[in-house]
């Protein structure tokens, strides 16, 4: 159960980091 919680947190962080990277990339591309 703890392993599932760690995996779930990892997926959330991974998706968040991807969104942040995409936002930064779009911002740089627009500039």
What is the mean pLDDT, run by run of 10 residues, along the chain of 31 residues? 90 96 90 72
- Tokens 């392993």 belong to 3
The CA distances from residue 19 to 2, 3, 14, in Å, are: 26, 24, 9
Identify the pLDDT of residue 29.
86
DSSP class of 29: H
- Tokens 């703890």 belong to 2
| pTM given for the model | 0.55
In which domain, by residue range, is 25 found?
A: 1-31
Domain count, the chain: 1
| Short-list 29, 8, 1, CA closest to 16 | 8
Identify the pLDDT of residue 12.
95
Q: Looking at the chain, list the stretches that DSSP marks H as alpha helix, in order from N- to C-terminal side.
A: 2-30
């Amino acid at each position: 159960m703890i392993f599932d919680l760690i995996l779930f947190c990892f997926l959330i962080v991974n998706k968040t980091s991807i969104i942040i990277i995409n936002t930064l990339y779009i911002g740089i591309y627009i500039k």
